[in-house]
Amino acid sequence: MANKAQNGSKLIYYPSEDVIKNAHVQEYDQLYAQSIQDREKFWAEQAENIDWFKPYDKVLDDSAKPFYKWFTGGKINIVHNAIDRHLTTGKRNQLAMIWEGEPGDVRTLSYHALNREVCKFANVLKSMGVKKGDIVTIYMPQILELPIAMLACVKIGAAHSVVYGGFSSDALINRIEDAKSKLIITADGGYRRGKTTQLKEIVNEAIRQCPTIEVCLCVKRTGEEVYMENGRDYWLHDLINLPNASPKCETVEMDSEDSLFILYTSGTTGKPKGVVHTHGGYTVYTSTTHRMVFDVKDYDRWWCAADPGWITGHSYIVYAPLINGSTIMLYEGAPNHPYPNRWWQMVEKYGITILYTSPTAIRGLMRYGETWPQRHDISSLRLLGSVGEPINPEAWRWYHEVIGNGKCPIMDTWWQTETGGFMITPLPITTLKPGSATKPFFGNEMAVVDKEGNAVGPGEEGRLVIKAPWPGMARTILKDPDRYVETYWKEYEKQGWYNAGDSARIDEDGDFWIIGRIDDVIKVSGYRLGTAEIESALVSHADVSEAAAIALPHDLKGNAIYTYAILRQGCEGSRELEKEIKEHVAKEIGPIAKPEKVTFTDSLPKTRSGKIMRRVLKARALGLDEGDLSTLEE
C-alpha cells in the first residue's frame, strides 16, 4: 500500500508489488467472471480443500427456492476439518490458540492440546445426556472454554446457540425458550475494565423462567462466590477430571445440511431471529473467504478482536481460522484496560500479523492519539481488517497509517449474520478507497436496485441485493421458515433475490459503498439491535405508555440510540425519570442498548394505520426535510 493517488476528493490506495507477489490470489477480474459463469464449479473446487467423510452428490440443490441446499448427500463435520485433520500433520504441535485474560494471565493451546480439551468437554456433555440434534445454549465471557464448548457441542452432533455475554437475563430467556435448550454452559463471571461480570447470577435468574433447562455447566473464572443449585448446576472442573471425561472422543458424521449452530440476531419485530447455519456450505464458505481475503499463511498470527458470541467470532475467530490451521489470538477484556496501549502491547508481545476489528474499536483507540501505538513495535502486522459498519475515511486513514504503518492493506468486509461470511470485500491485491468495501467476493452477484428491482445508476443510492445463492447463506430461521421467506426473499420475490436490508451505492469503477440499514435495525458500535426490541423494553417501564427509537449519527459509536416516550397519565417527565428509563432499557436488553437520550413527548408521528414514522423523527432530530408526509396521521 505504498502508493496513494488523489482522484477528485477521494484517496485511492494501490497495493504494493510485494503484497501482490506474495498473495494467494493474484488476479480478480478474470477469476470473478469465471466464478459467476460457473458458480458450482468454483465452489466445487473450493470444497476440495475440505475433508468429507463421504463425498457430496450435488453442489447446489435449488429445487425448493429460497431454501437452497449445498453439497447435498455429503457427510462432514466442521470439527473434523478444524481440528482432527491437523492432528496427523505437522500442525499438531503448532499453536492453535493464544489467550490472554484481562488481568494478564495467559494460556496457549496447540492443536493437540485443543483436541484434548474439546474431547474431554465433549465427553462431559455426553455424560450429561447431550445428543445429536440438541441445541446447547452457551453464555460465557471471552475465555478459552467458550470456543472449546462450541467445538465440543458440534463434535458430538449438537448445535450451539451462543448468547453474547453482555446480554441481560431477559434476552437470554427469550433465546433459551426459542431453542428449547436442556443444557446451558456458563461461567461464574469474567473480567471487564478491571471489574468482574456476574454471569452465573444472570443465568440463575434466567433458568428460573426456563423450565427446559435441566443442567447448567459452570466454568470457574473469577472464583467469586456464586449460587449453585444441587442436582442442576455442576462445576466443569469437577466433571472434566472424572474418568469418563476421557481425552478421546469420536467426531460424529453429519449431513452437509445438518444444523451447525443457531445465532440470534435482531430484525424488524421484537422477537430475535434464530438464524440457522449448517455444516457443509458454511465450512467451505468461511474457510475459502478467510484464506483468500486475508491471504492466510502458515506463519500468521491471526487476531479477530470480536466476541466469539457474534457471527464475526463464530466464523472468523473459531471456525475458519482453525480450518485453515492458523494460530488464533483471543483476549478477554477491554481494549483500553488498564491503558489504551493494551492491544498494541499484545500485537508486539505475540507478533500478531493480521488484525481484524470494527470501526468503533478503531475510533475508540484513535481518540487516545498515536503515541500509544507508537510505544510498541507493531511492525509484525501485514494485513488489517474492518467489519460491522461503514468505516469513516478518517478512521480508515488512521488505521492504515498509524497502525499499518502505511503498508498494510485494509480489508473492509461487508457481510451479515445471515450470510455466514464475507460477501463484499477487497483482496490484498485490490485497489482500495477508504470507506468502500470494494467488490463482491467470488461467486457472488450483487446489485444496488430501486424498489422495483431496477439497477440504479452509478453513484445513486439504492437497496443492496444478492442475486444468487452462496454456500455460507443461512438456511432458515429456527422454527419460523415463513419469517425467513418474508424477511429476506419477499421484497424481490419475482426476481428471486436476497434483500440485505442495507442501502448502498456503486461508483463508476464498480466499487460498493455501504450506507446503512434501511429497515428497523440499528447498528450501535457495530452491534445489531432492533428498534422494536428497544421500544418494547421502553414500554415495559411502568411510566411509559408509548415509545419510539431511532438511530442518530455518533462520532464514536457510528450510531447512537435516541428514544421518545409518551408517559402514562399522571407521570411527569424529569431528569431522574430519564435516567431511570435508560437504566431500565440497559437492564432489559443489555448495556449496549442503553439509549443516549429519552425525550418526553405528547405524541409520535404515525401513519394512519398506526405505524410510527421513525423517518420523520429522524429528519426532525437532524433538522432535515421531513419528506413525503402524505401518510402522516392528522
Which residue, 327 or 559, is less far from ligand PRX as judged by CB? Answer: 559
Smallest gap, in angstroms, from Cβ of residue 101 to ligand PRX? 25
- Phi, psi values for residue 322, rounded to 5°: -70, -40
Smallest gap, in angstroms, from Cβ of residue 387 to ligand PRX? 5
144 Cβ contact list (under 8 Å, min separation 6): 97, 99, 107, 109, 117, 330
Apex 544 CA angle, 542 and 545, nearest 5: 110
Smallest gap, in angstroms, from Cβ of residue 515 to ligand PRX? 8
Q: Is 531 in a helix, a strand, or coil?
A: helix
Smallest gap, in angstroms, from Cβ of residue 312 to ligand PRX? 5
Which residue, 59 or 423, is less far from ligand PRX as judged by CB? Answer: 423
| Sites of contact with ligand PRX (CB under 6 A) | 265, 311-312, 387-390, 412-417, 437, 500-502, 514, 517, 523, 528
Which residue, 46 or 265, is less far from ligand PRX as judged by CB? Answer: 265
- Answer left, alpha or beta for residue 212, where phi above 0 means left and psi between -120 and 50 means alpha: alpha
CA–CA dist 316, 159 (Å, integer): 18
Smallest gap, in angstroms, from Cβ of residue 412 to ligand PRX? 5
Smallest gap, in angstroms, from Cβ of residue 555 to ligand PRX? 17
Distances (CA, A) of 607 to 536, 615, 629, 632: 19, 11, 9, 5
**What would the DSSP string read from start to end of 225-285?**
-----TTTEEEHHHHHTSTTS-S--PPPPEETTSEEEEEEE--SSSSPEEEEEEHHHHHHH
DSSP letter at 393 equals: H
Which residue, 171 or 544, is less far from ligand PRX as judged by CB? Answer: 171
Measured in residues, the chain has a length of 634
Which residue, 446 or 500, is less far from ligand PRX as judged by CB? Answer: 500
The torsion angle over the Cα atoms of residues 228, 206, 136 and 113, rounded to 10 degrees, is -50
Which residue, 326 or 438, is less far from ligand PRX as judged by CB? Answer: 438
Which residue, 74 or 434, is less far from ligand PRX as judged by CB? Answer: 434
Backbone CA torsion sign across 170, 175, 178, 179: negative
Smallest gap, in angstroms, from Cβ of residue 535 to ligand PRX? 19
Which residue, 123 or 430, is less far from ligand PRX as judged by CB? Answer: 430
1 touches 397 (CB < 8 A): no
Nearest-10 crossing angle of helices 575-588, 531-539: 120
Which residue, 364 or 605, is less far from ligand PRX as judged by CB? Answer: 364
Q: Is 546 in a helix, a strand, or coil?
A: strand
Smallest gap, in angstroms, from Cβ of residue 417 to ligand PRX? 3
DSSP letter at 106 equals: E
Which residue, 120 or 523, is less far from ligand PRX as judged by CB? Answer: 523
Which residue from 496, 416, 505, 424 is spatially nearest to 453, judged by alpha carbons? 496
DSSP letter at 613 equals: -
Terminal Cα distance for the chain, rounded: 57
CA–CA dist 38, 96 (Å, integer): 35
Which residue, 251 or 288, is less far from ligand PRX as judged by CB? Answer: 288
320 touches 421 (CB < 8 A): yes
Smallest gap, in angstroms, from Cβ of residue 516 to ligand PRX? 6
140 touches 164 (CB < 8 A): no
Q: Which residue's CB comes closest to ligand PRX?
A: 417
Smallest gap, in angstroms, from Cβ of residue 79 to ligand PRX? 23
Which residue, 87 or 556, is less far from ligand PRX as judged by CB? Answer: 556
Which residue, 464 or 566, is less far from ligand PRX as judged by CB? Answer: 464
Which residue from 99, 97, 310, 313 is spatially nearest to 191, judged by alpha carbons? 99
Q: Which three cell numbers stand for residue 107?
A: 494460556
Backbone CA torsion sign across 284, 133, 178, 591: negative
Distances (CA, A) of 445 to 285, 420, 439, 497: 15, 16, 10, 10
Which residue from 381, 495, 385, 398 is spatially nearest to 438, judged by alpha carbons? 385
CA–CA dist 71, 57 (Å, integer): 7
Smallest gap, in angstroms, from Cβ of residue 123 to ligand PRX? 33
CA–CA dist 511, 434 (Å, integer): 11
Smallest gap, in angstroms, from Cβ of residue 277 to ligand PRX? 12
315 touches 294 (CB < 8 A): no
Which residue, 376 or 615, is less far from ligand PRX as judged by CB? Answer: 615
Smallest gap, in angstroms, from Cβ of residue 282 to ligand PRX? 14
Smallest gap, in angstroms, from Cβ of residue 293 to ligand PRX? 12
Smallest gap, in angstroms, from Cβ of residue 540 to ligand PRX? 24
Max CA pair span of the chain: 73
Smallest gap, in angstroms, from Cβ of residue 324 to ligand PRX? 18
Which residue, 302 or 415, is less far from ligand PRX as judged by CB? Answer: 415
Which residue, 79 or 551, is less far from ligand PRX as judged by CB? Answer: 551
